[in-house]
């Protein structure tokens, strides 16, 4: 069996930065407890690794004890939540991905100028909740073209279109092009989708068209990993999303001559390597 591994598989810059900051904090030692505000990334194996090192996950500022160090995860947090952490006297280590931070600031600027946010993203995703905190009360969140079409755009209103950083760029650009053709509609488009996301999706599409089967490795709660599986499967290639090599459908894969492998931005290299080793043994 030939295994085709995507060059972009594994940690992105933002995830690598967040974990580096957490590792640096742990390396300092000391008696202060260390918390992350929500899961630092969406990968259960990584979370288990840090739990063994004494790092626990806080659901909100009320779970942070006095004097603790708290790491803001790569997805960012709502503005009010960060302010609440500082009021509790916690040592705050901000590990928000720079791409997410930039999206927060761009949204804050345009909504501060009177525009209403149209946000392409998952409403219950932590990154989206953080982005919305910079937009004011009238933002509209949608996760599909069909959901967007149900929203009544007002001709006299001023809008700003943005996206969760890990969304499908092709869908976003098609929507932006459609809005640009509508007469008498004032819409400013923010390019907030991360280039790393675009590159991963393009790699997944290219490889899926060249192989018999596609394997996507990463946490089941990871939005960008789920979308990799979606864009790969959309090419008509059988595709499976696994967290570890133990979940591989070996009976199906044994019949394949070429298998493609990619991984989400929060997937450790060792998990990808474990999948590739098992496939090569077949």
Give catalytic residues, as residue numbers: 127
Q: Tell me 188's DSSP state.
A: E
Nearest Cα neighbor of 125 from 209, 44, 46, 221 is 221
Distance, in Å, from the CA atom of 7 to the CA atom of 9, rounded to the nearest integer, reads 6
Distance, in Å, from the CA atom of 146 to the CA atom of 85, rounded to the nearest integer, reads 38
DSSP, collapsed to helix, strand or coil, labels residue 240 as strand
Nearest Cα neighbor of 228 from 193, 263, 278 is 263
Contact 39, 4 (CB under 8 A): no
Contacts of 145 (CB under 8 A, 6+ apart): 171, 174, 175
Within 10 A of 281 (CB to CB), how many other CB atoms are there?
9
Distance, in Å, from the CA atom of 249 to the CA atom of 279, rounded to the nearest integer, reads 10
Place of tokens 């474990």: 274
Burial of 81 (C-beta count, 10 Å sphere; 0-12/13-18/19+): middle
Contact 168, 204 (CB under 8 A): no
> What does the angle CA 256 – CA 254 – CA 232 come to, to the nearest 5 degrees?
45
Distance, in Å, from the CA atom of 208 to the CA atom of 135, rounded to the nearest integer, reads 37
């Amino acid at each position: 069996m030939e295994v085709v591994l995507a060059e972009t598989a594994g940690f992105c810059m933002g995830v690598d930065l967040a974990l580096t900051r957490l590792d640096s904090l742990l390396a300092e030692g000391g008696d202060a407890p260390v918390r992350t505000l929500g899961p630092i990334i969406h990968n259960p194996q990584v979370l288990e690794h840090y739990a063994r090192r004494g790092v626990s996950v806080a659901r909100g500022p009320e779970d942070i004890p006095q004097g603790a160090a708290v790491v803001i995860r790569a997805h960012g947090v709502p503005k009010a939540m960060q302010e609440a952490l500082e009021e509790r006297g916690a040592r705050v280590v901000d590990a928000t991905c720079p791409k997410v931070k930039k999206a927060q600031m761009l949204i804050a600027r345009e909504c501060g100028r009177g525009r209403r946010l149209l946000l392409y993203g998952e409403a219950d995703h932590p990154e989206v909740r953080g982005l919305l905190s910079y937009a004011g009360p009238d933002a509209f969140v949608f996760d599909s073209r069909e959901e967007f079409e149900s929203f009544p755009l007002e001709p006299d209103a001023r809008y700003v279109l943005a996206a969760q950083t890990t969304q499908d760029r092709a869908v976003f650009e098609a929507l932006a092009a459609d809005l640009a053709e509508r007469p008498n509609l004032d819409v400013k488009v923010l390019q907030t989708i991360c280039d790393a996301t675009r590159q991963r999706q393009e790699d997944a599409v290219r490889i899926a068209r060249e192989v018999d089967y596609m394997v996507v490795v990463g946490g089941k709660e990871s939005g960008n990993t789920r979308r990799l599986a979606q864009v790969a499967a959309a090419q008509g290639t059988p595709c499976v999303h696994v967290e570890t090599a133990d979940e591989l459908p070996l009976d199906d894969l044994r019949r394949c001559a070429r298998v493609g492998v990619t991984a989400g931005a929060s997937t450790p290299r060792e998990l990808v390597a474990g999948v590739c080793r098992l496939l090569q043994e077949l």
